[in-house]
A and B are shown apart, each in its own frame.
Chain A
Amino acid sequence: MQLKYWANKILGYNGPPASMDFELAETEEEQQSASQTGQEENVPASKSRQHKIRKPRKTGPAGDKGDAGGTGDAANQPGGTGAGDNPEQSKPGAAPQEIQVALETNRKIIARLFNLPINKDVIVREFTLSTEPPVPAFLVFIDGMADTKLINNSILQPLMLLTNLESGQGIRPDTCTNVLQRHLPSNQVEKLTLFKDVVTQVLSGATAIFFDGCSYAISAETKGFPFRGVDTARTEQVVQGPQEGFVENLRSNTALVRRIIHSEQLITEYLEVGARNNNNVAIMYLADLTNPALVQEVKRRIRGIKTDYLAESGVLEELIEDHPLSLMPQIIKTERPDRVSSMLLEGKVAIIVDNTPFVMLVPGLLFDFLHSSEDHYVRFSNGIWLRVIRLFAVFLTILLPAFYVAIATFHQEMIPTDLLLSIAAAREMVPFPTIVEILLMELSFELVREAGVRVPGIIGPTLGIVGTLILGQAAVAASIVSPILIIIVAVTGLSSYAIPNYAAAFGFRFMRFVFIFLAAALGFFGISSGLFIMLCLLLNMKSFGVPYLAPVSPKTASSHDLIIRFPAWQQENRPDYQQTLDTRRQPELSRGWVTRQSAKPRGNKANSEGD
């Protein structure tokens, strides 16, 4: 405290801001299980834990509002059907917020809300229910977003033609309920009482139906907008393992995850972000596994966002991450459903933003960024090798150019004489100092990388040739750089792409420049002090309440899946730092067939004890 006091006095430093104070604490079950160590039975006691499940577009046939028992959530709106999650975002306006009984009033409000008739995308179709007496009605949908064939066949046709089977009893308050229950063969319908919800639903492709004398509207699911089909993952390819990746469509993405995890405990919650584009954000987690505090925190952060436009998950990432100024990502972004599923089973929370094929997972820790799902798909010895190679690649990416600069300009005694003499000979005609030389080459490499992304696909190979020729051959021939530098830059570039996470690779690649400057100024001392500062910064970081370097620092119980991936039958525990409700993946003896063959306990029990 003394230190903090003086730091405050001299530097005016008050410690990290309060927003980072969230800490993912151990659950009660975990503390209990820690006290009763060694017990096989580790099922969480409160399996009956109720989680609030909001289904914005789905109501039960009995008109259930969707709340399956509240858990005292602060944002629980009375009478809201899920979409009313952002009370502060309700637009100010003279129009009544609730749907009126008079059809004509509703029509006018709708016309104003959707800027009719200027807005040509919004279609308002007026029709009459063939009841006795006929009930005037109209429906609203957006051309292109809604499937017109679906509207024709399963909304208009039954309502206009088939409703006359009913004996006429005039307009009654339960007309809508009747229609809903008996005449609307649409699989997802919902009663809406607020115009705001109507707008939201219609904008997302649903069709809203208004009836005369009815103080609510019915929205039917008629999404029919174009989207890309499920394709192979583009940025995270594996040799062995599932090939499919997420797409832009939110529903497809949740389905892709659900297809892997067949569990009723897999919860999908919907939130909306963006005052103007009302982007849907889904949160997925396993109710009986994920720490509720983590889910709460994720929801708290997303709800707290006030912005008008959420373009992509990257924007949301920036808005909710703990340390936006850090070079290292703190949220895992992946386009692989299998990776999301395995992370969900580790106790992480998935955040899926509509219109983005990249799903975010929190908390994202340093070692998560070095893991690839393929590590678990190949045999464990190969998995270890992949991990080791990747860790090596990280160090090469950060340090190799800096290391070269340091030993070439400060520590020549460290280079073998032969190599030193050939370096000196190669530099004989090079006009620049080493630091300029390496910056030139590293920047050229970054240029090739950036241009390679931007260049139209057809010209791509040309760029490759030009890049390699210019960088590799011509620069050396023209004595701009020494040949050994080409190797350094090439190896650095290669290793940076061996890092499986794009954002992490970017961070490491950027750090490399910092280290080059440090090495040029101070040699190894600069590199080591840079590493020290980097370590301090990383140690100071948290991602959604979990220390960034967990489980290395703070040291937590091993989940046998850090740098060395243990065989699947030895990975018995979930990562300790996730503070999951259920800490075990499998019993100690996961291979039941092993014991059947031999009566005495095999070595795996002993192995699993020692890390």
Chain B
Amino acid sequence: MLKNSRQRLTAALLILLVLLFAAGCGSNSEPDALSYVLLIGIDHGAQNLLRVSYLIAVPKVIAGGGQEGAGGGGGEGQRSANVITIEAPSIYASMNMVNSFVGRRISLMHAKGIIFSEAMAKDGSMGVIVPGLTQFRETRGTAFIAVARQKPEEILNKMTPFLETNPAKYIELLAGNQSFTGYIPGEKLQDFYNDLKIGGINPVALLFAVSNEKLPPHNGQSSYRSEGDYVAGEMVKKGGVSLEAMGAAVFRGGKMVGTLNGDETSIYSMFRGQYGRRIYTIKDPLKPGKLVIMDVSQTDKPRIKVKLTEEGPIIEARLSLEGNVLGVNSLIDYSLPRYRPVLEQAFEELIEQQARELVEKTQHEYRSDIFGFGNKALRLVLTQRDWEQLNWAALYEEAQVSVDVEYKIRRTGTQLRLMPIARSNSESIQ
């Protein structure tokens, strides 16, 4: 039958090939045979261990909304994504349980984020679940990880973007806004897990909340409050999506121990080198009643040095920032060489102060090294046993941290010179 060597070789190869073919077909599935989860919400169950919520995309509404612009009105009746909540002993079990009433197999391949309830974060069950989540083949390491101040299913229900037909895009963009708002940390699932397992750093998570959508009445008593001085759920806003992503949840070990507001999160990101840019509204150093608005970005990686001494570790951090002046209320020309250093120094001091306060807060209130100073201290010891004996968590609390901020103003706006508002009488606006 097999006459010569070539035929025998071909036959052997074919048999090998058949084995390969038999191996593969099991894991394939048509794209329309899957239901794509965009967000996962995890909470304690009432009857079972977990209450898992899924935000599942409805492809036909999403694609239809894009195709027929005129029929957009019809799209309102059908949501582009549906929330399904189910109680189950584990997340993977919940996927199968959802499939007892959803035809298409649940797939976490396109899950953009995982939202835990505050209760789970605080009692440490979040820290238990996350490692298992990273183990699963379908979950993305790049999914954001968040703590919700309300029930996760409530947050998922509020995911009704008004600009995008596709909630996936909304979620992606929202988490990506970190690079130019700085109010939220850039922590992904994989980072969270890494920070969890490494001794020299503690994880943080995004903070989500349902906004109260109420504008307080005017009482003439408005005052300056930094734009970052909010935590999710506290902002005064109305309209758009009834959600807020602002600030961060701080963890010690696997437990949430507190929150950071937007400003603190920016400082945190500067220390981690994840800070992109952000707008700062600060008080004018020369005219305290007025404001200077600047667009501040990080020029260089933060330089952090850790030394171990008898009195405890000494940490020196150096942050390099640069920025552009966007607007000056006081009409002071900060492009002039005599004014610019004043502004630069004022901002340096502001950030230094904020950084010192934040470090102190994490040292004494949260007792959690979220900045990863411990990772820099790792190189000071030689073995894992030495590191464990060092007990960084305890050392960090008594560390002396000095922060040095270097700020340079690069551009001072498009106007060569600002003129005061002309008045008919001699009274000056100043």
Q: Which of A417-433 contact B (CB under 8 A)?
A: 417-418, 420-428, 430, 433
Q: Which of B83-108 contact A (CB under 8 A)?
A: 107
Q: Which of B212-255 contact A (CB under 8 A)?
A: none
Instruction: Collect the chain B residues with CB atoms within 8 Å of residue A11's CB.
Output: 5, 8-9, 12
Q: Which of A373-423 contact B (CB under 8 A)?
A: 408-410, 412-413, 415, 417-418, 420-423
A521 lies within 8 A of B25 (CB): yes
Interchain nearest-CB distance for A332 vs B (Å)? 27
Is A526 among interface residues, defined by CB-CB distance under 8 A? yes
Which of A12, A425, A433 contacts B8 (CB under 8 A)? A12
Nearest residue, chain A, Cβ from B164: A418
Is B290 among interface residues, defined by CB-CB distance under 8 A? no
B8 lies within 8 A of A13 (CB): yes
Instruction: Collect the chain B residues with CB atoms within 8 Å of residue A510's CB.
Output: none
Instruction: Collect the chain A residues with CB atoms within 8 Å of residue B38's CB.
Output: 417
Interchain nearest-CB distance for B209 vs A (Å)? 25
Question: Bound complex: CA of A433 vs CA of B138, how far in Å?
Answer: 22
Is B23 among interface residues, defined by CB-CB distance under 8 A? yes
Q: Which of A445-489 contact B (CB under 8 A)?
A: none
B31 lies within 8 A of A418 (CB): no
Question: Bound complex: CA of A522 vs CA of B63, how far in Å?
Answer: 29
A424 lies within 8 A of B32 (CB): yes
Nearest residue, chain A, Cβ from B112: A417
Known: A12-B8, A421-B59. A428 touches B32 (CB 8 A): yes
Known: A13-B8, A413-B138, A521-B20. A424 touches B28 (CB 8 A): no
Most buried by B among A11, A430, A433: A11
Most buried by A among B6, B32, B59: B32
Q: Which of B1-33 contact A (CB under 8 A)?
A: 4-6, 8-9, 12, 20-21, 23-25, 27-32
Instruction: Collect the chain A residues with CB atoms within 8 Å of residue B5's CB.
Output: 8, 11-14
Question: Bound complex: CA of A255 vs CA of B110, how far in Å?
Answer: 65
Instruction: Collect the chain B residues with CB atoms within 8 Å of residue A415's CB.
Output: 31
Is A290 among interface residues, defined by CB-CB distance under 8 A? no
Nearest residue, chain B, Cβ from A11: B9
Question: Bound complex: CA of A408 vs CA of B8, how far in Å?
Answer: 36
Is B64 among interface residues, defined by CB-CB distance under 8 A? yes
Instruction: Collect the chain A residues with CB atoms within 8 Å of residue B20's CB.
Output: 521-522, 526, 529
Question: Bound complex: CA of A528 vs CA of B12, how far in Å?
Answer: 20
B63 lies within 8 A of A425 (CB): yes
Question: Bound complex: CA of A421 vs CA of B140, how far in Å?
Answer: 17
Instruction: Collect the chain A residues with CB atoms within 8 Å of residue B166's CB.
Output: 417-418, 421
Most buried by A among B6, B23, B28, B29: B28
Instruction: Collect the chain B residues with CB atoms within 8 Å of residue A433's CB.
Output: 30
B27 lies within 8 A of A418 (CB): no
Instruction: Collect the chain A residues with CB atoms within 8 Å of residue B31's CB.
Output: 408-409, 412, 415, 420, 423-424, 427, 434
Chain B: how many interface residues by the 8 Å CB criterion? 37
Q: Which of A267-306 contact B (CB under 8 A)?
A: none
B36 lies within 8 A of A422 (CB): no
Is A5 among interface residues, defined by CB-CB distance under 8 A? no
B60 lies within 8 A of A408 (CB): no
Is B109 among interface residues, defined by CB-CB distance under 8 A? yes
Instruction: Collect the chain B residues with CB atoms within 8 Å of residue A420's CB.
Output: 31, 36, 110
B110 lies within 8 A of A425 (CB): no
Main secondary structure, interface of B, reads helix
B169 lies within 8 A of A418 (CB): yes
Instruction: Collect the chain B residues with CB atoms within 8 Å of residue A434's CB.
Output: 30-31
A418 lies within 8 A of B168 (CB): yes
Which of A422, A427, A525 contacts B30 (CB under 8 A)? A427
Nearest residue, chain B, Cβ from A413: B109
Instruction: Collect the chain B residues with CB atoms within 8 Å of residue A426's CB.
Output: 63
Question: Bound complex: CA of A418 vs CA of B5, how far in Å?
Answer: 52
B59 lies within 8 A of A428 (CB): yes
Is B326 among interface residues, defined by CB-CB distance under 8 A? no
B9 lies within 8 A of A417 (CB): no
Question: Bound complex: CA of A413 vs CA of B27, how far in Å?
Answer: 13
A409 lies within 8 A of B63 (CB): no
Is A84 among interface residues, defined by CB-CB distance under 8 A? no
Nearest residue, chain B, Cβ from A410: B28
Question: Bound complex: CA of A525 vs CA of B28, how far in Å?
Answer: 12
Interchain nearest-CB distance for B164 vs A (Å)? 9
Nearest residue, chain B, Cβ from A433: B30
Instruction: Collect the chain B residues with CB atoms within 8 Å of residue A337's CB.
Output: none
Nearest residue, chain A, Cβ from B65: A425
Known: A521-B25, A522-B23. A421 touches B62 (CB 8 A): yes
Question: Bound complex: CA of A433 vs CA of B32, how far in Å?
Answer: 10
Nearest residue, chain B, Cβ from A406: B28
Known: A13-B5, A413-B138, A417-B168. A422 touches B59 (CB 8 A): yes
Interchain nearest-CB distance for B62 vs A (Å)? 5
1/0 per residue, CB under 8 A from B, across A234-261: the answer is 0000000000000000000000000000
A417 lies within 8 A of B8 (CB): no
Nearest residue, chain B, Cβ from A8: B5
Interchain nearest-CB distance for A418 vs B (Å)? 6
Question: Bound complex: CA of A142 vs CA of B21, how far in Å?
Answer: 63
Instruction: Collect the chain A residues with CB atoms within 8 Å of residue B138's CB.
Output: 413
Nearest residue, chain A, Cβ from B27: A410
Instruction: Collect the chain A residues with CB atoms within 8 Å of residue B64's CB.
Output: 425
Interchain nearest-CB distance for A16 vs B (Å)? 9
Q: Which of A492-529 contact B (CB under 8 A)?
A: 520-523, 525-526, 529
Instruction: Collect the chain B residues with CB atoms within 8 Å of residue A412's CB.
Output: 29, 31, 34, 36, 107, 109-110
Interchain nearest-CB distance for A407 vs B (Å)? 9
Which of A413, A425, A523, A529 contacts B59 (CB under 8 A)? A425
Interchain nearest-CB distance for A14 vs B (Å)? 5
Nearest residue, chain A, Cβ from B2: A12
Contacts beyond the supplied A421-B62, A424-B36: 4 A-B pairs with Cβ under 8 Å = A12-B4, A412-B36, A420-B31, A523-B27
9 chain-A/chain-B pairs, Cβ below 8 angstroms: A408-B31, A409-B28, A412-B107, A413-B110, A417-B38, A418-B168, A420-B31, A420-B110, A521-B21
Task: Please report B residues at the A interface, Cβ cutoff 8 Å.
Answer: 4-6, 8-9, 12, 20-21, 23-25, 27-32, 34, 36, 38, 57, 59-60, 62-64, 66, 107, 109-110, 112, 138, 140, 166, 168-169, 172
Task: Please report A residues at the B interface, Cβ cutoff 8 Å.
Answer: 8, 11-14, 408-410, 412-413, 415, 417-418, 420-428, 430, 433-434, 520-523, 525-526, 529
A-B interface, 10 closest residue pairs, ranked by CB to CB distance from nearest: A425-B63, A522-B24, A425-B59, A413-B109, A424-B59, A417-B168, A12-B5, A427-B32, A409-B28, A421-B59
